[in-house]
Structures are given as structure tokens and as C-alpha cells.
Amino acid sequence: MTGARQIVPLDTTAKRVLIVVQNLPVPLDRRVWLECRALYDAGFDVSVICPKGPGDPSYAVLDGVHLFKYQPAPPARGFLGFAWEFFYSWLRTAMLSIRVQRRVGFDVLQACNPPDTYWLLAKLWKLATGGRITFVYDQHDLNPEVFLSRFGTPRGIIKRAQYAMLCWLERRTYATADHVIATNESYRQAALTRGNRRADEVTVVRSGPDTARMRPIEGRPELRRGRRYLACYLGIMGPQDGVDVALRALAHYVYEMGRSDLHLALLGFGDCFDELRSLADELKLNDYVTFTGRADARMISEYLSSADIGISPDPLNPLNDVSTMNKTMEYMAFALPVVAFDLKETRVSAGDAAVYVTPGDVAGFAKTIAMLLDDEESRVRMALAARARAAAVLDWEPQRRAYVGVFTRLIGTPLPRKKELSWPAVDRRRAVKPGPLVDSFGNRLVDLRGHHELALYVPLRKLPEDSPAPSAGEADVDAHE
């Protein structure tokens, strides 16, 4: 980073944030994109460094946010593969950070893990700027727990060394950070104990859905592929995410319970995507499963609004038990009851909106799905509870305030900007006069101003027959319930 001192802008009153993400492109990473939009709307200049998704340019400005992207490393296999991926990504990020400082500037560097390697980049920038760069650690994963969840208790010199390295990297990140953002209370306790941070140095910012935009539309019956019911999984498909368990539960549902009334849609991608497709073929489930690949906002709205239940098959392990699952809360925003394994933080998120299965009980997971599908009254009750809890307890708005508050305390308050939206919005004018609600794709939205229409909608995921269709070309602006 030679010469970095000369390229730092002299305007010390600027309010500029650089966010570094390695494991997902932005805006595909919905938590990070909500953070970007929150900072931008509050008046900060925001830049992001992340890997490219398919077809992504190296640089773009989206909704005012500067996106700097690099070609990702090939998928890693084994320790050496992961080590190379981390080194390659770190080097590309460091080079792009110089470009960001030259073109936009930044006063705060926020690193979103995994991995816990960007503390070194923060130290270099602090050195290059005489300590003027502030480092915020947004801890999305507990990496030692990731290791334990994948490989179990480390045995042998190599595994113990790998685990010790992960713990050391986490400690260095905690020690370097000027402030730590934790996704829930369990992560906060980790920062306070093994990170030795003071209570005022750690802020909980949950990954809540923006329920003003993530809300049910009229379902598309063709997504059920001719079957009576539709279940959805939304998220990453890695070794610790339990999507294989979902497929095995579906196989039990179809071939052991003798039911053919359910289609399963798997929205997302990940390291296990190809293996999962092979498993579906092996289990003779191709007629019962849809793999969508990457899911954008429109696809998410359409599938979750068409589904009868959302599934959270995350198995019990040291990481999952203390992690907040975004998918569970997003199901709830779309008024979906949830079937999940009984994990500590999943209960904190879902409350009465989920039915909990003993961890590891694949047959029990299948039977619980069947029970919930057969009990329309419970599905309606849980759907209403899910949407109400998502809007009142889990919504992004209070999390947004806590998140922005971290940066205003660290570097001051910028002038706010007019709010702009990228997720499908509600037509505010239609929200205050008779007629249908529509989003920016022209989809008819469920009227959430009372419970009546939502209760009628839930069993079939259709709007009432007498609900008028939207006229063509209606404009959209944001509106909260």
C-alpha cells in the first residue's frame, strides 16, 4: 500500500463508508444491501468491494452506492484451496480499496465476515492515514463455530492448528475494530467474552426484513407445478445449511407417507448446489423439486407469495444454534408459517410462527410438514402471527436506526438524502383510497391494513375474487402499513 498516504483526501469532515464483503456479491447479499441503503439515505457516501456475480461489471453505481467488484476465485476445495481463496480475495480487495480511496474516498472501513482477514487491511489503512480510518467489524458468522460445525472437535496437529488460526484471526479482528456489530445477542456475548470488548463497543443489528417492501403479493399457482401445495427454501446451499435434509424429508413425505400433493422450490445457490441436484435425482424427486438458482427480488416475492410454508432445515450444530437465519424472517414477512428444527436463535426469531422439530429427525420434519398442510386453521393462525411479528418485532427499521447510529457516533452525522427504493414498493396513493395495492412490477399486493384480506388470502395464496385488478401503468412510491 505504498503511497497510500498521498491519495487520502484532505477533507476530514467527509462522511464516507467502504464496506468489504467476500462471500456474496452485492446487492445479492440482502443484509449488506439494506446497510448500504440505510447509510446512503442517511447522507453517507457508500462504496462496496465484493466479488462479481454472473454478468456483473467491474464498477457500477446502483441507487447511489458505488460497487467495485473483482472476479471471484474458483470454488475452493480443502485447506489449501480455502487459503488461496482468502489470499486472492484479500489481495484483490486491498488493490480495489486504493481505487476506492482515489475515486470516492472513505473514512470508515466496514468488514463483513467471513473470513476474519480484513483486520490487516484496516491496520494498513490506519497506518497509511495516521490513524484516521475507523474500522467497523460486522460479524455475520462465528468462524470457529463454522469449523466445529463442519469438522467437529479438531483432532490431530493439522486440524488443531487450523482451528487455532481461525480463533487467532477472530481475536485480531475484535482487537483491531473500533466498533463491533453483532447480528444477535448470542454473537454479542461472543464479542464481550472471547473478544474482550466493552458493552458500549458492541451493537446488535439484527438482519430483519424490510416489511414495507417484503410483503405478500397475489400468488402464482403455476409455481406449484400442478400440485396442491408449495413449500419454499430460500438461501445459501452450503454444507451446514441442511438443504439435503429438506430433500430427504421430501423423499420420506412422497415415498414413505405416500403423498404426492407437495412441490418444493429451492431458491438460491452455494457450494452444494450441484450435489443437491444429484441427490434430488438419486431420490427420484425431479418431478417434485424446482431449483431456481440465484433469486432476485421479483422471484423471491413471487415464490414466497405462492408458497404455503417456508422451511428452515438448518441442522443443530455450534454455529446454527446461535445464528439468526434470514430466510426464516423473510418467510414471516410474506405471511408464511415455518417448519424448522428447534434451534435457540430460530426460536428467538420465529416465536409462535414456526413449528419446531427435534433436530436430526428427518421423518419428523416430513410429518410436521404434512400436519401443517392438513391443518388450514393452524396455517392461517401462524401466517397472521408470522406477518405481525415480522412487522412489529423483526422489521429492519429499528435495526436501521441502530446501524446508522454506530456511524454517526463514530464520525458524525451527514446531511440526509431523500429516500429512494430498489425493492418493489407500494403505491402510496392507492394505500389511502379504494382500489388495489400494486408494487412496481404491477403485482397485486395483499391489503395489510387489517387482518381480513390476509386471512382470506393465506389458505390459497390468492386475493379475494372481488378484489379489483390494477389498471395498467400505475406508479409506485413507498408506503408503510
pLDDT value at 43 more than 90: yes
What average pLDDT score do residues 56-82 get? 87
Match 490487516 to its residue by C-alpha cell: 120
What average pLDDT score do residues 72-90 get? 81
Which residues have CB under 8 Å from 309's CB, separation 6+? 229, 231, 232, 336, 337, 338, 339, 369, 372, 373, 379
CB burial string 225-254: b at 16+ within 10 A, e below = eeeebbbbbbbbbbbbbbbbbbbbbbbbbb
pLDDT value at 79 more than 80: no
* Domains of the chain with CATH codes: 4-208+396-411 (3.40.50.2000), 221-392 (3.40.50.2000)
Closest CA to 49 of 71, 75, 82: 71
**Local structure of residue 227 (DSSP, 8 states):** S
Distance CA 204, CA 193 (A): 15
In Å, how far are 25, 29, 65, 383, 420 from 140, measured between CA atoms?
A: 15, 11, 21, 28, 26
- Decide: helix, strand or coil at residue 148: helix
Distance CA 136, CA 369 (A): 41
Closest CA to 439 of 407, 476, 397, 390: 476
pLDDT band at 431 (very low <50, low <70, confident <90, very high): very low
Sheet holding 65-70: strands in order across?
59-62, 65-70, 45-51, 16-21, 108-112, 134-139, 179-182, 202-204
Question: pLDDT per residue over 344-368, tens digit each?
Answer: 999 999 999 999 999 999 999 999 9
Distance CA 202, CA 253 (A): 44
Match 420465529 to its residue by C-alpha cell: 350
pLDDT band at 292 (very low <50, low <70, confident <90, very high): very high
pLDDT at 413: 85
Most confident of 4-13, 272-281, 418-427: 272-281
The mean pLDDT of the chain is 88
10 Å CB burial of residue 453 (0-12, 13-18, 19+) is middle
Distance CA 49, CA 70 (A): 8
The single-letter code of the amino acid at 196 is N
Q: What percent of the chain has pLDDT over 90?
A: 71
Match 422450490 to its residue by C-alpha cell: 265
pLDDT at 433: 43
**Local structure of residue 8 (DSSP, 8 states):** S
CB 115, CB 143: distance < 8 Å: yes
Residue bearing the bigger pLDDT, 448 or 241: 241
For 90, phi then psi, to 5°, come to -60, -45
CB atoms within 10 A of CB 176: 17
Q: Are β-strands 65-70 and 108-112 bridged in parallel, bridged antiparallel, or unpaired?
A: unpaired
Distance CA 254, CA 244 (A): 15
Residue bearing the bigger pLDDT, 171 or 2: 171
Longest dimension (CA), the chain: 70
- pTM metric for this prediction: 0.81
Distance CA 44, CA 106 (A): 10
Look up residue 439 and give its three cell numbers. 408494487
Distance CA 461, CA 463 (A): 7
Distance CA 364, CA 89 (A): 41
Please give, one letter per residue, the 3-state secondary structure of 73-126.
CCCCCHHHHHHHHHHHHHHHHHHHHHHHHHHCCCCEEEEECCCCCCHHHHHHHH
pLDDT band at 472 (very low <50, low <70, confident <90, very high): very low
pLDDT at 176: 97
The single-letter code of the amino acid at 51 is P
Q: How far is CA 102 from the centre of its chain?
A: 30
What average pLDDT score do residues 98-112 get? 96
What average pLDDT score do residues 215-237 get? 94
pLDDT at 459: 87
- The count of C-alpha atoms lying within 13 angstroms of the C-alpha of 172, restricted to the half-sphere facing its C-beta, is 16
pLDDT at 481: 40
Strands in 294-332 per DSSP E: 309-312
Look up residue 43 and give its three cell numbers. 447522507
- Decide: helix, strand or coil at residue 137: strand
pLDDT at 442: 79
Residue bearing the bigger pLDDT, 466 or 17: 17
Q: Are β-strands 179-182 and 59-62 bridged in parallel, bridged antiparallel, or unpaired?
A: unpaired
pLDDT at 419: 53
